[in-house]
Each structure stands twice: as structure tokens, then as C-alpha cells.
Chain A
């Protein structure tokens, strides 16, 4: 039995039935990583000993007859911008190469409470800036479906780890599509929850008003299990929503009858690959055939989302990244003349080009005389984009779009400039601007590469997304495909 090919809930069943122990699962995954990761490059750090120790503890609990959670004893991975106490958290940047947080992110505590086995931290675009995971200070992560291609980004390491069986599920973060786009490129389920549903405490901020942590899993059921573990109010995060606790397992219902689904028309216009479009529309037909009511809907301000995103994200990051000065933690340069020189050298040598570019844009846009022209205006555009969604959700339960305009592109294909790279985020960015939840699920293949469909829900209505996605999954086989590395 190739354990690594199973889903988390399948492994859970086997552990609960004592067919296999958590230690055995963990060991087999560690061996699989050893064989596979040299080709994929999903991880930036592994902590095998602690993982095995935790696995043994779970096995003992089971032997003692203790009830274990749905994610108990299951190896998983975490994007390296989520703080783990005592374990390096680098954001794949030279700046934080040696940074060991003295505290856990809230989601890490929650994952530990469920006794999941944290195997390691995954590679990413430096400070979550990028859409391909080529922009890491350490290495390029490859797409398990085709190692000449990118896994997407910025949570590319997390997606590649799950797709290649190096973890049963992973946590990523999504600021403009960084969970959904890599999930799409790697044939996985990726959910960006409603802004505020999952605590951001301990997530090293890129753009505070857009960032959200979410799961990357092999199927929809696993997504529900992870959401059960990580969602919920956190008093450490002032932007955390005090929303009623939902059991997402209850959303795993095979029924979309009467669901009103909107085809967001602006998301099918220029720039979207013909086959991607065709496959997503064909998938919508499946929903229709299962009893959903489908209709076209317009979200007229969609085209402005990318511009608003540039401004909001770069302004916030220019401020968020100012703290990286190399004094209390982080990269320290050699040979500086004075305090200002120290700041400049630490930052110039510690940050990669893309990070510096966005800091520059943000600093410029926030400067005196430009605030109204850029940030303030972007926040007003944000109001309009949010209203588009509010209006759409008065009529529809869900909106469906492609997740990304294309399938996974080749390594090196789009590294030249920021604008070009950002085009792969055009379908995902509006969702972050509005703060609504959205999921990418596999809905087909083009030339052996997965295509993702994005299902967008109303605020805090992850349940309906899960229900539709689950129904789709039960009527298709895309999620059962596993990559054969080539």
C-alpha cells in the first residue's frame, strides 16, 4: 500500500481502525520525502524527530483508548510564513533565514491541539510575494505534475508537498490567490476562508487587510476537517470574526438542488485560456445537471481589482516590512558606518528584488501627496468591489469562475516582470479585496496539467462552498488523479 497516496480522512480511518499506526504513517512519509523532495523541493525544513515523537504519543493515546481527533496523528506541512515556536520561520527569505520565533501562530496551536504531526515548513515566494514559488531565496519548488513547471505560488511548497504525497494536508496563506492558484496548478483543493474566520496571529504579514490562512488538501472532505481545526475567533487578532462555530463536516452533503450559481461573466473574458474556460463551463453544466440553477451575473468592478490590489498590498507591505531592520532579529550585514547605514545594508542585502520592488511601490504610494491618489482611492474601489459581491450574493448562493487563467506555466516563463506575473492572479484577487471565501477545486486537465475551478461564497458561508464542491467531487474523478512525476 502506498500510504502517501491516501487522503487525510482515509489515513484517519486506517489509524482509527488500527490498520496502521501514526508512527508508521509518519515514517513512511519521511521516507517518501527523502526520495521525492530532491526532485520537488517542497520543504525548506523538516523536523523528523519531533514529528516521530508526536506520532508515538498519538499511538499511545489510541492504545490508551483515548478519542483522537479527525486530524490526529496525520503528517502535515506548514507554509514557512506561519510562526512555529522553536522552529525557524524564514518566509523563504535571507532576511529571516535564522529567525526562530519564540511563539506559535494561533493556527499552529490549533493544529497541535488536534494532534496533527507537523512534518516541516514549506517553500514559498519570498514573503509570499509571487505566483510561482520561483521567488524563494532558497530554491525553486517544482510542480509534481511536471517538474519543468511551477507549482504556482506563493504557497507553492505547501501545494507541491500535498500533491506529491509529502504531506496529507498543508496550511498556506492567501493574499491575492496564493492558496487557490497553487491548488489549481497542482490539482488540489485550496480554500481561502472569509477574512477574519481564521486567526492571522503568527502569520508573518504581507498585506494585513488581505492575508488569510487556509488549507490545501487532496479533497473536499479533508478541507472540511482542516477548517474544523483552524477556524474560529481569536482574541489575539483584532480582525478575527466573532462568528458562531460551524461544523464543516456537516456541509459534506451530496446535493446542489436549488442552489443558485452565478457565472461571473467578467472572469471569462480576455486573458483566460480557451481550454480552461471550456472546462470550467463544462463543470458548471455538471452543477446544472445536478439541479443547481445557473445564471450569468456581472460584477462590473472586477477589472479594477488588480490595480486596487497592487496599491493596497504594496502600501501595507511597505509598512509591515519596515520592522525588518536586523536589530532585534533577522539578517545582519557586515561593515556598516552608522545606524542608518546599518538599516540600509541589512535591508538591501536581506531582501530579494521582488520584495524591494513592492516596498518601493508602497512607500511611493503612501508618500505625502499620493495617499489620496493611491491608497485612499484603492480603499474606495474596495468598497465598490465589495458591493458587487454583496449585490451578487443577494441573488446567488455561489459564484463560479476559473481559478487561474492558465494551467501551470514553465519555470522561468514569467519571471521577467511583476505585471505579467500578476496576470495569473486576476481571478483570485477580487476575492481578497472583498474578503469573501473562495475555493479552488480540480475540474479537468489540459495536456496532463490540472485545471482549477474557483467557487466563491458569501461571507462566512464556507459551508455552501464545501457542499457544492463535495457534490461536484462525488460526481467527478479529477480529485482522484495523482501526479506521475515526469
Chain B
């Protein structure tokens, strides 16, 4: 029998505000344990919350970017449960009146993945487990603002869920409300999954998956569960309503707790806060701050730059990268060359060093001049790589590097011919091979010439001259 998988996602995303949602403590990740705390986020008795306006602005912004309706009237509620990470023993969240609802993200295949709701809430603290049977609590993250984004169970495969997450992340980063760093915990994703036979007669119970620390883990856990659900149904069994966690090392999901006795959160309206009422003007003011979103940008890039789609995907991996690309193109018109150098050399290094494009040491002007040097043939491609490496590492101008390293290309035919002759004289065996039809020999000879010229000879001229000399 064929089965359809139903996947819904719940994403928690920390917002990029300066201060926490209900107090003035910093949201910074850097700092010793329990140094970003005040009476309010520690939940000391008598303290009261006051909502950070930026948090509401950001939630509206996320809602608009994700095609949501913005609620004119919403309120905060208390979600009550005992947990040592939770300083008040309730999380201030939103229950029946979330700030945004009914949005969607469109996939490449033009499928709408619906978003049921986006609500505001506060993050909890963190516990570190020791080997001596105790846990140590750090409340620096307690009260950091979050939006929780809940999708409808509209995804049918791991790939689709992966694409949804990639798109969501790109959008949240583009609108600068979250940095979406899963490894830091500023983006977290839980999965609800079950499968259904095509005729609808067999349906597995919904299982919740937690502890997914990368998009890859999300995809792998979904694939694992899909198989497990189908396998059980085919044995005339069913899954248990439960929460399972993904074990990255073992590549499997492991049961955490049953959902039969679901937590009773005893939600009720937060009496310490008023309501949030959002009017047309407020929404429009936020709408003005939304930049071109990834989907639109991609369409425009395809039209404007005529590059392959997969290249564009890399060029616009972040908004800053896309801006960098467009800024360079303004100075240096060879779009293909700009694209190649950014995608291959620059992007690789950024990824290697785990840095952001705004941390690079060279300017757009220098990068453009650098490309100009290659284009004009002042340096060849090989030398270009060396220059780029130096630019990336030191921030020196390309002219300076070329001069220091003496990398200017040798264009003088006579000079190159001398080197060619010398190489041929020293390598009679290769000439022999070449004449016997071994093409590799030509490559070797060219390489030797380049080596002798310390990489500075114009490769095209080298090529032509060797052939001339050989024939």
C-alpha cells in the first residue's frame, strides 16, 4: 500500500532585540552564568513584566513576511508548568489569541505550506547536567523573546520540511528579526509526524520529535519516523502518541515520554499585562521596513542577471551576500565573473572560517579592482587565487599584493618562448609521448612552463607557443 506522510513543524526563534521581552537585561549570548539576570527575569516575588515594544514589532514583521493576518486584538497568557528552568513556574505566552495567524510559505514547486499561527513568548533558562547527579541552572536565557511559528501539517516529505525550514530561516534572516542559529539554540524545531494510507483506512498516531539540532537532523528524523510508522501499520500495529528525541549518534529516534497524559498547562490570561491592540497604521509602518524577500529577489536576479538558478541560490544565501553581489556588479560589469569569484572563492572561505560577509577585510572597490586585474590579464587566474587569499586574510589592496609578490602576468611572447624552449629541451620523453598521442603530456609541459615562470606566464600564450614548437 502507498502511504502519505503528514508533517507539521513548530519553530521557536529567538528575536534579535537588545533587551529581554519583559525586562531590561541583555539578550547577549556572551557572558558568565547568571550575569544577565534581574529580579524580573529571575521571577522574584513581587516583580512584574512590561512588554518590550520591539518584540511586538518583530512579530508583526515576521507575520507580514510570512503572509499572515495580524491580529487586531491579542493578549498574553500564562502557561503553567513546573520546571526548574522556568523561574515563575509559568511561561508568559499566547494561547487563544496569537499575534499572527493564517500565513504560508511557498515552495519551489509552488506548494503553499500553511502557517497556522505565530505567537510571542519568553525563553526559559538552561540547565547543565553534572556527573554527580545534579543539574546547574543558568537563567541568562530566561526571558529572551521568542516567536513560536506553528505550521499546518502540510508537508509530505523530509525534503519538503527541509525546504520549508530553509525558506523560513532565509526570510527571518532577511527581515533581520532572528539570526536563526540552530547550533546556538536561537532557532529550534519540533516535528509532528504521522502517516496515512492512500485510501485513508490506516492512520498512525501523531508523534512529536524533539532535540533536533540541525535541519539535516530534522530531515533524517522524519525519514526514520516515516519508515517506522509505515512498518508498524503494515504489521497491523500503530505508533504510540508520544514525544521522541532524535539521537544523532545512533541515527534513530528514542522515546522520551508518553503524550497520553498530556501536561495540563492551565492557560489563563496574564493578569499582569494589558492587551495588545494593533491598528492599520502600526501594521503599515512595519510593512515599510520589510525588505525584498528571498522569493522576489530570486525572481529578479534570474531576470536581471541571467545566471543559473543554483548559482543565484548561493549568491543570495543571506541578504548581505546578495547585497554584496549587487554592489560589486555595479562597479564591475562582468556578472559571470563576479558570480564565480563570490560563489567559489569567497563563499568557501566564509564557510570555512564561519564568518559573515560583513566581517570581510577588503572593500567592494578593492574586490572590483581585483576582478579588473584578472579581466585585463594583468594577473592570470592562478595568481588571482593567491591575490584573493591575501586580500581575504590581510585586507591589503590587490595592487599592493600583486606588486609585493611580483605576480604580474608575463605577456611577452619572446620571453615565454624562451621558457618553452627550455622546458622542451629538458623533457624529450614528454615530447615523445605527445607525438604518440598522449594528451596528458601536453598538460605536463604547460605545467612545467608555468612553474618555471612562477605562475606568471599567460596560460593562453603558453598553450599556443608549446603547440607551435611541438608541431
Contacts and interface: CB of A to CB of B under 8 A. Distances in A.
A–B direct touch in complex (beta carbons closer than 8 A)? yes
Interface of A: 81-83, 89, 91, 96, 99, 101-103, 105, 200-205, 207-209, 235-239, 315-316, 318-319, 322-325, 327-329, 339-340, 343, 363, 366-368, 371, 375
B124 to A, nearest CB: 13
Given A201-B47, A325-B82, A238 B87 contact: no
Contacts of A328: 42-44, 87
Given A323-B89, A329-B44, 4 more contacts: A101-B45, A239-B48, A318-B80, A329-B45
Given A200-B48, A201-B46, A371-B267, A322 B272 contact: no
B274 A238 contact: yes
With a 10 A CB-CB cut-off, give which of B43, B44, B135, B267 has the most chain A CB atoms. Answer: B44
A316 B50 contact: no
Contact of B82 (A105, A201, A343): A343
B80 A366 contact: yes
Given A103-B39, A319-B90, A325-B82, A366 B45 contact: no
7 residue pairs, one from A and one from B, having the closest CB atoms: A322-B89, A366-B266, A208-B271, A209-B271, A204-B45, A202-B46, A83-B46
Contacts of B50: 235-238
Contacts of B267: 366, 371
Contacts of A343: 82
Contact of B43 (A208, A209, A323, A368): A323
B274 A319 contact: no
With a 10 A CB-CB cut-off, give which of B80, B137, B271 has the most chain A CB atoms. Answer: B271
Contacts, number: 104
Contact of A102 (B39, B43, B268): B39
A313 to B, nearest CB: 11
A96 B90 contact: no
A102 B44 contact: yes
A325 B89 contact: yes
A327 B90 contact: no
Interface in B371-405: none
B45 A238 contact: no
Given A102-B39, A103-B44, A366-B268, A239 B89 contact: no
B80 A319 contact: yes
A264 to B, nearest CB: 26
Contacts of B135: 339
Nearest to B81: A322
Contact of A367 (B90, B264, B271): B264
A202 B46 CA distance: 4
B41 to A, nearest CB: 11
B153 interface: no
Interface string B21-55: 00000000000000000010011111111110000
B88 A238 contact: no
| Chain A interface SS verdict (over half) | loop
Contacts of A366: 80, 266-268
B84 interface: yes
B210 interface: no
Nearest to B266: A366
Contacts of B272: 205, 208, 238-239
B314 to A, nearest CB: 46
Given A208-B272, A238-B272, A343-B82, A322 B45 contact: no
A343 B83 CA distance: 9
B45 A323 contact: yes
A238 B46 contact: no
A221 B228 CA distance: 77
13 contacts: A101-B45, A102-B39, A103-B44, A238-B273, A315-B268, A319-B80, A322-B88, A323-B45, A327-B84, A328-B44, A366-B80, A366-B268, A368-B266
A205 B80 CA distance: 16
B266 A367 contact: yes
A322 B268 contact: no
B343 interface: no
A323 B42 CA distance: 10
A358 to B, nearest CB: 15
A363 B51 contact: no
A318 B264 CA distance: 14
Contacts of B273: 238-239
Interface residues of B, number: 29
Interface in B77-120: 78, 80, 82, 84, 87-90
Interface in B54-87: 78, 80, 82, 84, 87
Contacts of A367: 264, 266
B46 A204 contact: yes
Given A209-B271, A238-B274, A368-B264, A323 B88 contact: yes
Nearest to B267: A371
Contact of A319 (B45, B46, B266): B266
B43 to A, nearest CB: 5
A295 B274 CA distance: 36
Contacts of A324: 45
A203 B89 contact: no
Nearest to B80: A319
Nearest to B45: A204
B46 A203 contact: yes
Contacts of A203: 46
Contacts of B80: 318-319, 322, 366
A239 B274 CA distance: 7
A113 to B, nearest CB: 19
With a 10 A CB-CB cut-off, give which of A91, A328, A343 has the most chain B CB atoms. Answer: A328
Contacts of B39: 101-103
Contacts of B43: 323, 328
A482 B48 CA distance: 39
B44 A327 contact: no
A415 to B, nearest CB: 26
B271 A83 contact: no
Contacts of A322: 80, 82, 88-90
A324 B271 CA distance: 18
Contacts of A327: 84, 137
A375 B269 CA distance: 10
A319 B137 contact: no
B46 A205 contact: yes
Given A238-B272, A371-B267, A325 B78 contact: no
B44 A101 contact: yes
A336 to B, nearest CB: 12
A442 B50 CA distance: 39
With a 10 A CB-CB cut-off, give which of B48, B137, B274 has the most chain A CB atoms. Answer: B48
A33 B27 CA distance: 48
A96 B45 contact: yes
A101 B264 contact: no
Contact of A375 (B44, B46, B84, B268): B268
A343 B48 CA distance: 23
A201 B42 contact: no
A324 B80 CA distance: 13
A237 B48 contact: yes
A368 B263 CA distance: 10
B264 A238 contact: no
A208 B51 CA distance: 17
B268 A371 contact: yes
A83 B51 CA distance: 22
Contact of B84 (A89, A103, A325): A325
With a 10 A CB-CB cut-off, give which of B51, B89, B135 has the most chain A CB atoms. Answer: B89
A82 B43 CA distance: 15
Contact of B45 (A83, A318, A368, A371): A83
Contacts of B48: 200-201, 236-239
Contacts of B47: 103, 201-202
Contacts of A363: 266
Contacts of B87: 323, 328
A204 B47 CA distance: 8
